[in-house]
Amino acid sequence: MLQEAIEQLRRGRPVLLFDFEDREGETDFVFPATHITPADIRLMRKEGGGLICVAIHPEAASRLSLPLISDVLLRCGGDIASLVERRGDLRYDSRSSFSLWVNHRSVFTGIPDRDRALTIREIGNAVERVMRGEHYVFHEHFRTPGHVAILRASEGLLESRRGQTELSVALAMMAHITPAMAICEMLDDESGNALSKDAAKRYARLKGIPFVEGSEVVRAYKNA
């Protein structure tokens, strides 16, 4: 199933990615950011229901000067700094991977499907360019605050953190595509909680979308 998922990503199509039972225990839609369309945004918000984000490679984040938002807030000092998550705040990890929330400068409000698709594609384009070694001035193309959350993968990827951010970027690396991935959690319409793994698998079979578990990604990435 992992190889099928990799081939699907190479074609610009989505996969479903479950992390771990002892972590978030969530299944995410994962799309290559450079191929996102308004229809893909609609799919994620209607049939996913979670937060639509873009996970990017840590090297790209460094070259684009994209910080972790927790580091930015700590520098603000005062009451703002006291809001920053502390060890133990997250029951599933030591920290989150949120960077900036942005809109592309060409969009209007930034929230319609077309606006978010354009912003996400352009984030993917920015990552592609800097990973090729090109110079790219991020603030010339994007503004913050915006409606697309950028997630900065941990240095060392799966060696240091195994969240959906790192797992999806690792999938991109194994597929040899731009390491910028749009992700969105799947929620249960009845309970409002994370969709169960069994329900996500049934959805994957019904829609013909490959379903991959984090443990598969970790094993394959170690052996790549």
Distance of CA 175 to the CA centre of its chain: 16
CA distances from 14 to 4, 28, 92, 124, 217 (A): 11, 10, 25, 15, 15
Distance of CA 41 to the CA centre of its chain: 13
CA dist., res. 162 & res. 172, Å (int): 15
163 phi, psi to nearest 5 deg? -90, 175
Q: Are strands 53-56 and 142-152 parallel, antiparallel or unpaired?
A: parallel
User: Are 147 and 119 contacting, i.e. CB atoms less than 8 angstroms apart?
Assistant: yes
Q: Strand order in 211-213's β-sheet?
A: 98-104, 142-152, 53-56, 180-185, 27-32, 15-18, 211-213
Residues involved in catalysis: 28, 53, 92, 103, 147, 185
CA dist., res. 108 & res. 2, Å (int): 38
